[in-house]
Amino acid sequence: MIFKNWFKKKEKEPQNLFHEKEIQDGIEESLWEIKEEYDLPTEEVFNVVESKRRNIEHMHKMISKKEKYE
């Protein structure tokens, strides 16, 4: 039974990272437009967008912590 799914070909759905998550602001929208205009790799733009979201989330956390101590 170990080999039951071994030879079965798994079909991967093409990932469209652009539509995976909604665009949150104008910066992200501009990044995706630049990607399309200059034919940049989708993964690179996706990584930049995710990094921007994490950084903004971290800034919000730090600001809320600061406000608690004031």
pLDDT, tens digit (0-9, with 9 covering 90-100), for 33-49 = 999 999 999 999 999 99
Q: Find how far residue 15's CA is from the centre of its chain.
A: 12
Rounded average pLDDT over 61-67: 87
**Band (9; pLDDT cuts 50, 70, 90):** low
Rounded average pLDDT over 42-68: 91
Domain ranges of the chain: 25-69
Judge whether 47 and 28 are in contact, CB under 8 Å: no
Number of other residues whose CB lies within 10 A of the CB of residue 18: 14
Number of other residues whose CB lies within 10 A of the CB of residue 56: 13
